[in-house]
Structure 1
Amino acid sequence: MKRLATLGLALMVTLGLAACATTPPASSTGLPAAPAFAEYPPPDIPSGLTVSDTVRRRHEAAWARLQAGDPRTAAREFTAILKQDPSLYPAEVGLGFALLAGRDVEAAEPLFAAATNVDAAYLPAWVGRAEALVSLGRDADAIAALERVQALDPTRENVTTRLELLRFRLVQSALAAGQQARVAGRHADAVAAFTRALAQSPDSTMILSELARAEVAAGQLTEAETHARRAVQLEPREADWQALLGDVLEARGQLRDATAAYERADALEPSEAWRTRLRDLRERTELATLPGTFRAITTASTITRADVAAFVGIHLRDLVETAPVRATTVATDIRGHWAAAWILPVTRAGIMSVFPNHTFQPAAVVRRADLATVMSVLIPLASTTRQAELAKWRAARPRFSDLPASHVFYEAAALSAAAGVIVPDGTGRFDPTRPATGAELDEAVRRVAAIAGR
């Protein structure tokens, strides 16, 4: 018996030493001097809650067990308290922290959420919920919880840093998801992902641009314009955002405004790609304002001098604008005419002529010989970087069965044919007196544009 007592005493001493080795020393408040989970704020019972002294002591003791490094016992104690008083949400939060410490995060998070629903200003519940949400990978919800923590206690350490890291992680994840969805053609999913990213970084022009492009693809043009304009507002001297706005406005059918946006982009950062887009937008803008008969000109069986001047002025604008001034005579019969804006520059450049009686005769039908004359002026203007080929074309003496070399229109026809701009038919006939068609005008202008490298 004495031996058993000795063994029992030894065992008690051993257990006591072990306890001393694993449990921090208690302070005068009953809590360990070095809490095991110091980052967890104590779930104090607010003064507005009426509880008995017995329950309050049990609550404090359960928290002390958790901070002593014993989450399992703490969880049992908080569970017992909640059975006695289910409405005591500080005990619910204490149980949440005990489960969190025991790594049962999924069970802990609903407890914190329930407490915040009862008392939206209870800081420990928001801290616990933020911790749980971070562990669960629910970054967006975790950010919202941390923002609430920051609002309730601006002095709390590390909240700002954690928010920045979470926002960065969420933005990167959302961007990757959006880009994958866009590549897969899931435009609505792409919009949703980029919207999530923008919520975390509202002033990111990169995210705004991604979102605007996804919205265009999804047909959400009003929203796309809003986001493109926001990007321009934030970085007005960034050419890419001006071009983005141009794309959105083009999609909305606002061609003039789209043209203006691309003009700003090209002014900020000159680009051949943007100049090409500008030419296309200008042509489409101008075509939209012209008579319906002109818009269908490529199918017309005959064309007029006004048609030719407008078609050349629109589709070969660069050549017309950079051509040297060769004539200053102003036609007296074009005032108020729909094509006057193109007749003036085309005649100043000597591409088309004003007649000796100071008329342009815009309604006059254009023959193939007349069209060749116009092309014979445009071909050299388009060949500034192809002088050797131009010399070869000028030296060529093609044979036409209906147009001898002595004919007044032969030189124009020969240059046009040699350059492949207007070609004779399969029998060698040039048909100089036959009215030119809209299709022939379109083909001739396209070939001149190709010579110019457009």
Structure 2
Amino acid sequence: GELYLYQYEFNQAEDQFRMVVAMKGDYSGKANKMWQMSQKIVRAMPGTSVGKKVALHEKITRADLAVLLAEELKISTLMKRQTTPASGFQTPQEMRAANTSQGGPSDAKGHWAEVWIKELSGYGILEGAPGQPFYPDNPVNRAEYCMAIQRLLSIVTGDASLETRYFGENPSRFQDVPSSHPAYNAMALCSERGIMQADMMTGRFEPGKPVSGADALLSIRSFQNALRITF
């Protein structure tokens, strides 16, 4: 199963892990964990080689997220279709042109994901303004992931109210996050749109929990579905 998995043969890997789990032997616990991951990847259907690679990461970094949004979401194509002013009376194209002219984040140069980081920072999706650090190797947690998705939704819909719509809800829709949390609105928005959910049994969102590559890919597919509903 692992051989298939790391050769990006995800369907075959899923079948092999399922067989080991069914045997209920000494390796069934580990196989079950790998089976769940391979199932998520199969459902997310990564379409690029770099997307398949990041899908295997247990914890993604900011650079990984930039790669997934650029390659799997095709963010540049998405932005080219959007001509509505998104922020400061700028269209996404105007925003990117203004940011690109100032250069990329200060710590992107020479990084393996430099091209993708510059692309994302150009649209203002992830923090890392021109000349400022991007921190590409820092891990991404669920709250930060939702903040990026919130920014994306705000830009592509041209609806800035999405970034404040759920603040101050009483009671909070999550057992572990007050509505005053800085990322509460983003988490509520992603939950409302079916992009990233709280635990069904506990109602906990776990904002500080790391995001895996498989979960990030699944959320990107959910984001794409949300966009189809929006437009």
TM-score normalized by the length of structure 2:
0.60
SS of corresponding position for 1:307: helix
| 1:340 equivalent in alignment to 2:121 | no
Same amino acid, percent of matched pairs: 30
SS of corresponding position for 1:313: helix
Shift of 1:337: 2.2
Correspondence 1:390-401 to 2 at 5 A: 394=165, 397=169, 399-401=173-175
| 1:319 equivalent in alignment to 2:94 | no
Is this contact kept in 2: 1:319–1:381, CA < 8 A? no
2-side partners of 1:421 and 1:352: how far apart? 18
Deviations 1:285-336 (A, max 9, x none): xx34x4xxx5332232200001100100112222244534177252121122
SS of corresponding position for 1:453: helix
Return the letter of the residue paired with 2:222: R
Is this contact kept in 1: 2:166–2:188, CA < 8 A? no
| 1:378 equivalent in alignment to 2:152 | yes
Q: After the TM superposition, which segments of 4 or more aligned residues of structure 1 sit over 6 Å from their partners?
A: none
**Residue 111 of structure 1: aligned partner:** none
2-side partners of 1:400 and 1:379: how far apart? 21
Shift of 1:449: 1.1
**Residue 425 of structure 1: aligned partner:** 199
Change in 2 beyond 3 A, CA 1:309/1:419:
same
1-side partners of 2:79 and 2:118: how far apart? 10
**Residue 194 of structure 1: aligned partner:** none
Among candidates 292, 300, 314, match of residue 57 of structure 2? 300
2-side partners of 1:409 and 1:419: how far apart? 16
Aligned length: 161
Larger radius of gyration: 1
Shift of 1:395: 5.1
| 1:444 equivalent in alignment to 2:219 | yes
Is this contact kept in 2: 1:304–1:366, CA < 8 A? yes
2-side partners of 1:379 and 1:355: how far apart? 19
**Residue 62 of structure 1: aligned partner:** none
Deviations 1:402-453 (A, max 9, x none): 1101111111111111111111112111111111111221111111111223
Correspondence 1:251-330 to 2 at 5 A: 284=47, 287-288=48-49, 290=50, 295-317=52-74, 318-321=77-80, 322=82, 323-324=92-93, 325=95, 328=99, 330=104
1-side partners of 2:173 and 2:225: how far apart? 25
Shift of 1:363: 0.9
Correspondence 1:83-122 to 2 at 5 A: none
Is this contact kept in 2: 1:303–1:437, CA < 8 A? yes
Moved more, 313-322 or 339-348: 313-322
Return the letter of the residue paired with 2:218: E
2-side partners of 1:417 and 1:401: how far apart? 13
Is this contact kept in 1: 2:195–2:219, CA < 8 A? yes
Correspondence 1:144-223 to 2 at 5 A: none
2-side partners of 1:395 and 1:370: how far apart? 17
Deviations 1:38-95 (A, max 9, x none): xxxxxxxxxxxxxxxxxxxxxxxxxxxxxxxxxxxxxxxxxxxxxxxxxxxxxxxxxx
**Residue 409 of structure 1: aligned partner:** 183
Correspondence 1:33-52 to 2 at 5 A: none
Return the letter of the residue paired with 1:314: E
Is this contact kept in 2: 1:302–1:438, CA < 8 A? yes
SS of corresponding position for 2:222: helix
1-side partners of 2:114 and 2:130: how far apart? 18
Return the letter of the residue paired with 1:319: L
1-side partners of 2:226 and 2:195: how far apart? 9
1-side partners of 2:146 and 2:55: how far apart? 17
2-side partners of 1:443 and 1:425: how far apart? 16
Q: Which has the higher helix share?
A: 1
Change in 2 beyond 3 A, CA 1:395/1:412:
closer
Is this contact kept in 1: 2:191–2:198, CA < 8 A? yes
Q: Which has the higher contact order (CA 8 A, sep 6+)?
A: 2
Is this contact kept in 1: 2:106–2:130, CA < 8 A? no
Is this contact kept in 2: 1:421–1:447, CA < 8 A? yes
**Residue 69 of structure 1: aligned partner:** none
TM-score normalized by the length of structure 1:
0.32
Kindly report the root-mean-square deviation, in angstroms, between the aligned alpha carbons of the 2 structures: 2.9
